[in-house]
Structure 1
Amino acid sequence: MLKQNVYLVGPMGAGKSTIGRLLSQELKLEFIDSDKEIEDRCGCNIPWIFDVEGEQGFRDRESQAIDDITQQSGILLATGGGAVNRPENRQHLSARGTVVYLCTSVEQQLARTEKDKNRPLLQRPNPKKVLQELMVQRDPLYREVADIIVHTDESNPKLVVQEIIDKLQELNVVL
C-alpha cells in the first residue's frame, strides 16, 4: 500500500514514460504523463504549443497541469524534462509526493530521442549541445527536488522499476 504519490523527474530520454507505466502497474497507481495531459487539455500537440505560444506559454500550461495533477491521490506522474525549471513546480512535487530522479547521460538521451520529432527543444542544429546545456542547467534542480536518484543508462526498465520500489521501501513510502 502506497502512502503517497510518486513523481518522476529527469531529462528527456531518461525513461520517465516507459518506467512510469511499469512502476505504476507494480504500485497500483494511476499513470499520468504531464506532456500528454497538456496535449489532451489543449487539444493539440506540444510542438504546436511551442510554435504558437512559445516555450513560456507551454511552461505556463505545464505549471497549471502539475499543480492540478499533484493535488490528486493515488497517482504516478511522469513530468516533462523542464518541469523542474519553475520553483512552484518543484515545491508542488516535493510537498505532495515522493520524487524520483531518473538520471541518464547525454549520450543515452541522444540515442533514445534522435528520431522523436515531438521534442521542440531538439529540433535545432546540434541536439547534443542542446542536451548538454540543459543538463548543466537542470541536473542541480532534479537533485534538489529528488528523494530518490536512480541511474537508467543501459538498464533494463524492469530492473530500474525494482530498484525504485526497493528505495521507496527504504524510505517507508511503500508499506
Structure 2
Amino acid sequence: MNLTKEFGAAEYAAALESWEWLDLADAVPVLATLFGDVILQTPQGFAFLDTVEGSLTFPWPDRESVEVALQTQDGQDRYLMGELALAAAEQGIVAGPQQVLSFIHPPVLGGELTVANLEVQDFVVATNIVGQIHQQVLDLPAGTPIAGVAVEVPADDCTAARG
C-alpha cells in the first residue's frame, strides 16, 4: 500500500490556500500523505505540514533524508500514520486518486485518531478546511469550548465539496 500521493500544482495551491498563516510563500509542495499532510521543499530544507497538529516543521535537510525517513517504520508512523491508514484500508476506507483520508471530527476539535472517525474526502477540500479550522482556533487558550466553526469553500470548489 502506498502511503503517499502526488497532486498537481493547482491542487496543492488550492489545498494550501488556507495555510498561508504559516508563511508558505517560498514553499513548493512535493508530496502529500494519505491524510492530506504535505511535504514541501523550502529554502530551509524539506518541511512537513502536519494537518492534525496544525504545524510546520523542518525535519529534513534534503530530499534524500525525506525518502530515507519515510522508508522506516518510525517515519511511516510519525509522518504517514501508516498503521491508521492500513487499518482504514482493511475497513474499506480507501481514498481515490484526488482524495485523502479525512477526520470527520478533526482532532484539533477533540476528534479521535481512529478508523471510526475517518472518511474519504477531496484532497483540496479536506486540507483547505482543516487549515481554516486551525487558523480559527490558533490563539484560543487550551480547553476553550468551541461552539462552532465557520468554513469557507471557494466558489470553484463547491462541486468537489458536494461530491
Same fold per superposition (TM over 0.5): no
Bigger strand share: 2
Q: Which structure carries more relative contact order (alpha carbon 8 Å, separation 6+)?
A: 1
More helix per residue: 1 or 2? Answer: 1
Q: TM-score, normalised by structure 2?
A: 0.31
